[in-house]
Amino acid sequence: MRRGAHTRAEQSAVLEFVDVVKEYKGVPPVRALDGVSLRVDSGELFAVMGQSGSGKSTLLNLAGALDRPTSGVVRIDGHDVSRLSDTRLSSLRGRRIGFVFQQFVLIEGLTAMANVATALVYQGLSTKKRRARAIAALERVGLGGRIHHRPGQLSGGEQQRVAIARALVGEPAVILADEPTGNLDSGTGMQTVDLLRELHRDGATIGVVTHDSTLADELPRVVTIRDGHIESDTSSGGPR
Ligand SMILES: Nc1ncnc2c1ncn2[C@@H]1O[C@H](COP(=O)(O)OP(=O)(O)OP(=O)(O)O)[C@@H](O)[C@H]1O
């Protein structure tokens, strides 16, 4: 084997789903995920694609430590979420997951820099260090010239870049993006995808949830979900 090459087993899994079932209470209950097994290694860029109601948000909520499975195992960065208390789970979420949303979800009264720095409040850093890291993250997404702008003074694509900077500033184990191009025109959406690809080349682990096959086809790995099952996964699952 080439020196420095790792088999899949040696790589570190950032996300692991083993036979995961998620049921929502109701009469009758809704089985949103039904026996999902999935492994994502550090440094991957992947899409979770499926139609409305297929279970994408449910999978994202589990991968992002926002919820726990009904049965099966979800491990995030090596932690079995079912074994963590609510406090430990929210700490895992705050420190190891970066979220990007379709609606950007920025705070209107704050500058781009302050919006990004909010992601660091639990890291015990001085204000000066938080600002320095926020500026570095904004520079990384190409917004070094917009650090004092407020969301209303930025285009949609720029606002999504601020949101991506906020997601990556804490150096999370994985960035999870929920329909990140859903509010952007196709050209700006493609620039956002290019940015995600660039961050991936720099080593970030990124998952994109989308119903848009044009977007998913741009990414190296596509997991397609249908009726709560994984229908296909372009990852071979063997040594890479
Ligand atoms: N809190 C809930 N209570 C009951 N049923 C739910 C709940 N959340 C989701 N569901 C159901 O679980 C199934 C999967 O929903 P989910 O939101 O994961 O799908 P999705 O692929 O993200 O859809 P969309 O693209 O429309 O957001 C659907 O049948 C949905 O109605």
| Exposed / middle / buried, residue 100 (Cβ in 10 Å: 0-12, 13-18, 19+) | buried
pLDDT at 69: 97
57 Cβ neighbours under 8 A, 6+ residues apart: 178, 209
Measure the CA–CA gap between 116 and 168, rounded to whole angstroms: 9
| Adjacency order of strands within the sheet including 174-178 | 97-100, 174-178, 206-210, 45-49, 221-226, 229-233
Q: Which pLDDT tens digits describe the chain residue by residue (240 residues)? A: 444 445 555 568 999 999 999 999 999 999 999 999 999 999 999 999 999 999 999 999 999 999 999 999 999 999 999 999 999 999 999 989 999 999 999 999 999 999 999 999 878 899 999 999 999 999 999 999 999 999 999 999 999 999 999 999 999 999 999 999 999 999 999 999 999 999 999 999 999 999 999 899 999 999 999 999 999 999 855 433
Structure tokens given for 54: 């297929």
pLDDT at 122: 78
Give residue 55 CA to ligand 1 midpoint distance, Å.
6
Q: Indicate if ligand 1 lies below 6 Å from the C-beta of 58.
A: yes
Measure the CA–CA gap between 149 and 147, rounded to whole angstroms: 6
ipTM of the complex: 0.96
User: Which atom of ligand 1 has the smallest separation from the CA of 57?
Assistant: 22
For a substitution probing ligand 1, which of 17, 22, 30 has the most ligand atoms within 8 Å of its CB?
30
pLDDT at 8: 54
Count CA atoms within 13 Å of residue 40 on its CB side. 29
- Give the DSSP letter string of 146-171: GTT--GGGS-HHHHHHHHHHHHHTT-
Measure the CA–CA gap between 171 and 185, rounded to whole angstroms: 28
Tell me the CATH architecture of domain 43-65+95-235.
3-Layer(aba) Sandwich (3.40)
Measure the CA–CA gap between 29 and 218, rounded to whole angstroms: 36
CA dihedral 227, 230, 234, 239 (to 10 degrees): 180
User: Which atom of ligand 1 has the smallest separation from the CA of 228?
Assistant: 14
- Among protein residues, the one with the nearest Cα to ligand 1's atom 13 is 32
